Amino acid sequence: MSQPTIESILQEKRLFPPPTEFAQKAHIKSIEEYKQLYEKAKTDPEGFWAELAETELDWFQKWDKVLDWQPPFVKWFVNGKINISYNCLDRHLTTWRRNKAALIWEGEPGDSRTLTYAQLHREVCQMANVFKQLGVKKGDRVGIYMPMIPEAAIAMLACARIGAPHTVVFGGFSAEALKDRLVDAEAKLVVTADGGWRKDAIVPLKEQVDKALAAGAPTVENVLVVKRTAQQIQMEPGRDHWWHDLQKGASGECPAEPMDSEDMLFILYTSGTTGKPKGVVHTTGGYNLYTHVTNKWAFDLQDTDVYWCTADVGWITGHSYIVYGPLSNGATSLMYEGAPRASNPGCLWDVVEKYGVTIFYTAPTAIRALMKMGEHHPNSRNLTSLRLLGTVGEPINPEAWIWYNRVIGGDRCPIVDTWWQTETGGFMITPLPGATSTKPGSATFPFPGIIADIVNQEGESVDGNNGGYLVVKHPWPGMMRTVYGDDDRFRRTYWEYLRPKSGEYIYFAGDGAHRDEDGYFWVMGRVDDVINVAGHRLGTMEVESALVSHPAVAEAAVVGKPDEVKGEDIVAFVTLEGEREPDEVLEKELKQHVVQEIGAIARPGEIRFTEDLPKTRSGKIMRRLLRSLAAGQEIAGDTSTLQDRSVLDKLRGGA
């Protein structure tokens, strides 16, 4: 894989060392300590993870063997017995954390609720007992289709408590997408709500469940409904049950089921470009350990923190870093139901100020949207409680990083730019905030125990200051185990795309990356997001980063369009800052700006101005759809994750 010139990203040479006071109190206090941990894990990975498993988690029975690696299939802590719900709840009840806030919840209309560890334990046990009452047994799958309310986390923990794997479906998905996931997982029970609040409107969740079941999900026997919005809904006699009715008679005690370390914890569906979504399978022991340790070290979790990850529990970020990782650490995790909206564009900063949030973790897409709204919203709130910021979901362009650091972090908060995936379970490449000097736009270094590398098409390591495919060369505890019901798809998708001549199995992440002269990793985006212009391969991120560095541009998405002469030409979809209006002068200026930043080869052939970009419900730009639009083709493949179809309709109308 020939690597494009990427000066537009790597020309950012500023280095941000950890604040001295922060480093002194951090779990990992220096780059030397990080290097020692990394070498220890690389030299003896089994010993490294075994030591952490013993010291950080509670086990009912110790394992016989740390690692069983039969490529590409893996088992961690073989024959160990554990329960992640126990580690998130029960073990804290014998300490002072019993009366500590476990979950702080803020609803979009302004209602709120705080659950201590003791209170959360009681409600989880009650829901687990209700699940049993509804016929759910160990091994049965439970579908969860919920708004961002405490009962979503409670349902997940209740499933884990009795050994019923959950599949959480994001509450914005369509009935058809929900049905497909319930059918594939063969779910026995669905947990939902009458509705949820988002941007001042009610999302009709129960109505969507009814449509999904009417379309055919024959394994679903019961539906448990939480009352949230109190609008009129249809309740099917015998099938549908109100949570508040069944909770009244449910015991607040339910022993945690001893689970084998490799028992399935959950299935989480991630969309492919075509065909049905992939059911990513995660198991219990290794996932518990990995989310626990990565959350603790990368976010430097302290007992005094109020930690807020803005993701939805329907995504892996919500699983790992709203529910399981923070609660296993005994942290206070904040959940927010709503989103910035016309009636309150500064709502996120209201929540930070109200609860004294100390750690704030969000997506680059959200950061760019907040930039577009202007600085007056955060500047009018007191954000001095913040001590650490994080980003997740896609590479962050340096301009957004600098804004985030200056406006939200007040130039005092380390930024933890995390690279990872649904499939990896937790952070893979990330700064450790007390140890790592950061570069805007770089995820920095691999987490201890992660043997990351950059290889060419033959699977061979590339030397020095070069780029290629991002891979991982040794198993880690949080990794996915398979695609549900399809081991062959798992093998083909992740392990056989790149095979070195030695024949070893390496995990292919699907991303291109670059490693600079200091060893920092720069993730360049999906390898299918590469444009071949007259034989030159250009990463979409570098062109997008160049565009966003122009003061008029809020956000940009770049795709390739077939061209008879060049092979591909560059088409840029651009949203503008504030009140800035598009015109021909600005279009020419932006094209020339890209030339100055990268070179003439990167000059966009066409710039299309748009008010918004098509994104997944987790905030990722769907470049595949933009490629089809740019080429004048019909939209094909899976669009179930599209957040707002009207954006696509507007773009199509203007194409």
The domain that holds 503 is classified in CATH as 2.30.38.10
In a domain, 24, yes or no: no
Residue 544 falls within a domain, yes or no? yes
On the question of a cis peptide bond just before residue 326, with omega within 30 degrees of 0, the verdict is no
Please tell me whether residues 601 and 580 are part of one structural domain: yes
Are 542 and 637 part of one and the same domain?
A: yes
Same structural domain, 507 and 535: no
Q: Please report the pLDDT score of residue 229 as a whole number.
A: 97
End position of a domain, from candidates 479, 494, 524: 524
Task: List Cβ neighbours of 634 (8 Å cut-off, separation of 6 or more).
Answer: 628
* pLDDT given for residue 7 in this prediction: 45
Residue 144 identity (one-letter amino acid): I
474, 503, 524: which is the final residue of a domain? 524
pLDDT of residue 488: 94
Q: What is the pLDDT of residue 636?
A: 61
User: Is residue 603 classed exposed, middle or buried when 0-12, 13-18 and 19+ CB atoms within 10 A define those classes?
Assistant: middle
pLDDT of residue 8: 47
88 domain-assigned = no
pLDDT at 321: 98
Taking only the tens place, the pLDDT of each residue in 524-564 is 877 766 676 765 556 677 788 889 889 999 999 898 888 76
Name which of 234, 205, 223, 241 is nearest 337 in CA terms.
205
Handedness of CA 310, 266, 327, 242 (dihedral sign): positive
Q: Is the dihedral of CA 623, 407, 326, 147 positive or negative?
A: negative
What was the pLDDT predicted at 55?
Answer: 98
Report d(CA 531, CA 602) in Å as an integer.
Answer: 10
Domain extent, residue 460, equals 454-524
CB burial of 245-273 (b: ≥16 within 10 Å; e: otherwise) equals ebbeebeeebebbebbbbbbbbbbbbbee
Provide the pLDDT for residue 273. 42
- Please give the C-alpha separations between residue 99 and each of 155, 253, 332, in angstroms, as whole numbers: 21, 17, 11
CA gap 447, 401 in Å, rounded? 21
What integer pLDDT is reported at residue 125 of this predicted model? 98
CATH number at residue 639: 3.30.300.30
Please check whether residues 488 and 568 belong to one and the same domain: no
In order, the DSSP letters of 514-579 are EE-TT--EEEEEETTSEEEETTEEEEHHHHHHHHHTSTTEEEEEEEEEEETTTEEEEEEEEEESTT
Block residue for tokens 């880690």: 476
How confident is the model at residue 638, as a pLDDT? 62
Q: In the numeric block, which tokens belong to residue 21?
A: 């006071």
Whether the Cβ atoms of residue 140 and residue 132 lie closer than 8 Å to each other: no
pTM of the entire predicted model:
0.85
Show the DSSP H helices in 249-284 as ranges: none
Q: Judge if 536 and 649 occupy the same domain.
A: yes
Please tell me whether residues 575 and 473 are part of one structural domain.
no
Residue 384 falls within a domain, yes or no?
A: no
Residues 579 and 516 reside in one and the same domain: no
The domain tally of the chain equals 2
Inter-residue contact 309 to 324 (CB < 8 Å): no
Assess if residue 351 is contained within a domain. no
Q: Is position 595 within any domain?
A: yes
- Whether residues 512 and 491 share a domain: the answer is yes
CA distances from 318 to 336, 422, 525, 548 (A): 12, 11, 22, 28
pLDDT of residue 397: 84
Clarify whether residues 566 and 469 are in a common domain: no
Same domain for 502 and 620, yes or no, is: no
Any domain includes 204: no
Residue spans of the chain under pLDDT 50: 1-8, 273-274, 655
Q: Give me the DSSP letters along 320-370.
A: IIIIIHHHHTT-EEEEE----BTTBTTHHHHHHHHHT--EEEE-HHHHHHH
Is 533 in the same domain as 613? Answer: yes
Q: Give the pLDDT confidence score for residue 2 in this predicted structure.
A: 31
536 and 646 both lie in a single domain = yes
The pairing of strands 536-539 and 530-533 is: antiparallel
Is there a domain that residue 643 lies in? yes
* Boundary of a domain, candidates 493, 524, 555: 524
Structural tokens at position 320? 């790992």
